[in-house]
Homo-oligomer: A and B are copies of this chain.
Amino acid sequence: MNIINQRDRLLTDMMAGIEQAYPQLKRSTQTRGFSDRAFHEQNILVVSGGGSGHEPADWGFVGSGMLTGAIMGEVFTPPTADEIVAFVSQITNRQQVFLIVKNFPADVTNFTQAKQQLTSSGWEVGMCVVTDDISVDNASLKKRRRGVAGTVLVAKIIGEAARKGATMEELNELAARLLTEVKTIGVAFSGAYIPASNQQTFYLKDDEIFYGAGIHGEPGYRKEKFQSSELLAEELVKKLQLNFRWRPGETYAVLVNSLGGITTMESMIFNNDVLQLLELENVAVAFDKVGTFMAANGMRGLSLTLLRLHDEQCLTALNATVNTPAWN
């Protein structure tokens, strides 16, 4: 059951609701985008986007010090290159934009094409493709490297650097440094809802969890019976450890993200279990954030993101105050 009206009006209805709830967001007249009314012309624009269904991503992060604008497409379908170009061009004549893209084929194609079009029109365009998902595909045994909740941490750090007046070269360098250091693993307790088919992407038994599920309700790498928050935390922390190969004394930021349907109590209990395991590993946690940042359209589940911190710049950026709908 979904609290919607006609399925072909999902985006229109939602955008009208967002516009009224957040007067600080300026709705694009031609595209499905929102930008920051308080944008300072002296800064480089930072723009993200992708399919809808991940709310509050990405419009929930629009605000000075995070995203200048966010553009969405239909559920789980990114905006076209033309839409991205039209949206970015509408915000300002500043002609410098940094694009934060989640690593999915259609997203990368459309944003890359938009980058080319903007460049042809005289814009200077920086871009990063976030590949934080460390889950492994069962068939190919390759890491999926999708862009998931870690994208939000990247947006916060890049957005703060832009607010402080970073150059395009500095933003590109910062992004390159961040991308290797942010890793996420997700787990689902149900499939995600697909409005077009009115189906879920998969069905699980009660008490069954699916490790490695994606933010579009893609199947994971292993199903098992759920036992406890502690054992869930152990599985996810272990997978992250295998990917980071951390050493005692390293410092991390933690993001516990509800993909949907998780209570705050559950998120906090899981957060505590994660932090206890990291403490046992002798890695320091300098930043810890819990909430709903990038959801999966009704899929019950959560993801755990770690970002290895090498310097004060990233931590300061994560802690900087912003006025956005969903990061506070």
A80 on the B face (CB < 8 A): no
> Can you list, as one digit per residue, whether each of A277-307 has a CB less than 8 Å from chain B (1) or not (0)?
0000000010011101001011010100000
Closest to A321 in B: B323
A261 on the B face (CB < 8 A): yes
> With A55-B263, A263-B260, A328-B328 given, is the CB distance from A21 to B295 under 8 Å?
no
**A168–chain B nearest beta-carbon distance, Å:** 30
> With A17-B272, A288-B21 given, is the CB distance from A52 to B264 under 8 Å?
no
Asked if B270 contacts A17 (CB within 8 A), the reply is yes
A38 on the B face (CB < 8 A): no
> With A14-B268, A265-B14 given, is the CB distance from A275 to B20 under 8 Å?
yes
**A324–chain B nearest beta-carbon distance, Å:** 8
Bound CA span A78–B99, Å: 49
In A1-44, which residues have CB < 8 Å from any B CB?
1-5, 10, 13-18, 20-21
Asked if A53 contacts B265 (CB within 8 A), the reply is yes
**A33–chain B nearest beta-carbon distance, Å:** 15
Asked if A290 contacts B21 (CB within 8 A), the reply is yes
> Can you list, as one digit per residue, whether each of A208-241 has a CB less than 8 Å from chain B (1) or not (0)?
0100000000000000001011101000000000
Using Cβ atoms and an 8 Å threshold, which residues of chain B touch A5?
228-230, 269, 273
Asked if B297 contacts A20 (CB within 8 A), the reply is no
Bound CA span A5–B271, Å: 12
- Contact among B4, B228, B268, B302 with A21 in the assembled complex (CB-CB below 8 Å): B268
In A71-99, which residues have CB < 8 Å from any B CB?
none
Asked if B230 contacts A21 (CB within 8 A), the reply is no
Interface of A: prevailing SS: mixed
Using Cβ atoms and an 8 Å threshold, which residues of chain B touch A17?
267-272, 275, 290
A189 on the B face (CB < 8 A): yes
A207 on the B face (CB < 8 A): yes
Bound CA span A269–B189, Å: 25
**A149–chain B nearest beta-carbon distance, Å:** 15
Asked if B295 contacts A13 (CB within 8 A), the reply is no
Closest to A9 in B: B269
3 nearest interchain CB pairs?
A328-B328, A17-B268, A55-B264
